[in-house]
């Protein structure tokens, strides 16, 4: 766990749009990784002004001594963790400078525990990225420049991001486990999780508090997003774990969010949503957005 703080400077509210690319669960080394889709998201991140948050499970990281080992689930081009993480490192290199955090996933962490080799820490060091382990509390300070080098500090976007740690099979339980992140840090605007190989939002909640100056009840909305994966489910040929366990097919890819600062009246408004946060729809990939 680490607490991290970054700045996002802007000149006018109209032009201020922070883009967050939240990627997790690549599973390099698994033959069902959708490599082409991964590169589409990676390249979008390279070409666009954005901050990149990485959520773990970069390599499949299961060797032949592991009870989870399945010879049908080995991409023989990347059959060992060494080959997998070397490839992940190559793939992430073009995003260097944009990556703000690199979490562990359970696959990365299990290998570290069993074999005392921490690939994620090594990659984060090479990329000069904070390595907080499985979760991080991230503050992004939106600062509006008002000219003549004066800046007015405005709002802080608070994010809690965790790789996720659950064997939840039901959709209802997946809703519960991401909402449970609010029980750890209750004040965030945005909660992110990987691991369950789902992509997109879970319904929001509101956080209540009392404004100590006016003794009024205030609230802000809290949003929850799963950050996707790149493992295909049902393909022709020998089935993978998705098919053998009868998991439902899911949408692959990564999460892209746009965050804009809002104008709020702290004296009058009951709901103080400092930010407008929305997911960029898939259309960007077909050229309708960039």
- Where does this chain bind Fe ion (CB under 5 A)? 57, 105-106, 195
Write down the least CB distance from residue 139 to Fe ion, Å.
Answer: 25
Q: Name the β-bridge partners of 158.
A: 139
Write down the least CB distance from residue 65 to Fe ion, Å.
Answer: 20
171: which residues sit within 8 A by CB, 6+ positions away? none
Structure tokens that stand for 269 in this block: 């408004």
**Closer CB to Fe ion, 106 or 121, in the complex:** 106
**Closer CB to Fe ion, 107 or 155, in the complex:** 107
Write down the least CB distance from residue 174 to Fe ion, Å.
Answer: 13
Write down the least CB distance from residue 108 to Fe ion, Å.
Answer: 9
Structure tokens that stand for 111 in this block: 């290998």
**Closer CB to Fe ion, 31 or 105, in the complex:** 105
Structure tokens that stand for 41 in this block: 């998201």
Write down the least CB distance from residue 144 to Fe ion, Å.
Answer: 38
Q: What burial letters (b/e) apply to 255-287, b meaning 16+ CB within 10 Å?
A: bbbbbbbeeeeeeeeeebbbbebebbeeeeeee
In Å, the largest CA–CA distance within the chain is 65
**Closer CB to Fe ion, 144 or 195, in the complex:** 195
Write down the least CB distance from residue 274 to Fe ion, Å.
Answer: 31
- Please tell me the distance from the alpha carbon of residue 104 to that of residue 22, in angstroms, as a whole number: 14
In the block, residue with structure tokens 């793939």: 91
**Closer CB to Fe ion, 98 or 195, in the complex:** 195
Exposed, middle or buried by CB within 10 Å (0-12, 13-18, 19+), for 93? Answer: exposed
**Which of 158, 153, 124 has its CA nearest to residue 138?**
158
- Please tell me the distance from the alpha carbon of residue 194 to that of residue 197, in angstroms, as a whole number: 7
- Please tell me the distance from the alpha carbon of residue 66 to that of residue 89, in angstroms, as a whole number: 23
Write down the least CB distance from residue 196 to Fe ion, Å.
Answer: 8
**Closer CB to Fe ion, 144 or 197, in the complex:** 197
Phi, psi of 187 (to 5 degrees): -105, 10
**Closer CB to Fe ion, 27 or 98, in the complex:** 27
Residue nearest to Fe ion (CB): 195
């Amino acid at each position: 766990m680490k607490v991290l703080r970054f700045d996002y400077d802007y000149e006018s509210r109209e032009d201020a749009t922070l883009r967050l690319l939240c990627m997790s669960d690549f599973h390099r080394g698994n033959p069902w990784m959708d490599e082409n889709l991964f590169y589409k998201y990676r390249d979008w991140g390279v070409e666009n002004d954005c901050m990149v948050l990485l959520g773990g499970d970069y390599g499949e990281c299961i060797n032949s001594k592991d009870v989870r080992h399945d010879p049908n689930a080995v991409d023989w081009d990347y059959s060992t963790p060494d080959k997998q993480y070397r490839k992940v490192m190559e793939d992430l290199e073009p995003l260097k400078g944009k990556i703000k955090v690199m979490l562990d996933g359970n696959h990365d962490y299990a290998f570290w525990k069993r074999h005392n080799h921490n690939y994620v820490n090594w990659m984060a060091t090479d990329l000069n990225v904070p390595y907080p382990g499985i979760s991080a509390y991230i503050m992004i300070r939106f600062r509006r420049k008002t000219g003549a080098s004066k800046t007015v500090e405005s709002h802080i976007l608070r994010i809690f991001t965790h790789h996720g740690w659950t064997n939840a099979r039901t959709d209802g339980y997946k809703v519960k486990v991401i909402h449970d992140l609010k029980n750890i840090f209750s004040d965030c605007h945005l909660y992110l999780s990987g691991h369950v190989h789902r992509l997109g939002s879970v319904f929001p909640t509101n956080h209540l508090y009392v404004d100590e100056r006016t003794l009024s009840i205030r609230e802000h909305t809290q949003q929850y997003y799963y950050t996707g994966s790149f493992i295909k489910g049902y393909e022709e040929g020998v089935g993978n774990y998705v098919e053998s366990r009868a998991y439902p097919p899911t949408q692959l890819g990564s999460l892209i969010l746009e965050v804009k600062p809002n104008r709020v009246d702290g004296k009058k408004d009951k709901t103080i949503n400092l930010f407008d946060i929305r997911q960029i729809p898939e259309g960007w990939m077909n050229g309708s957005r960039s």
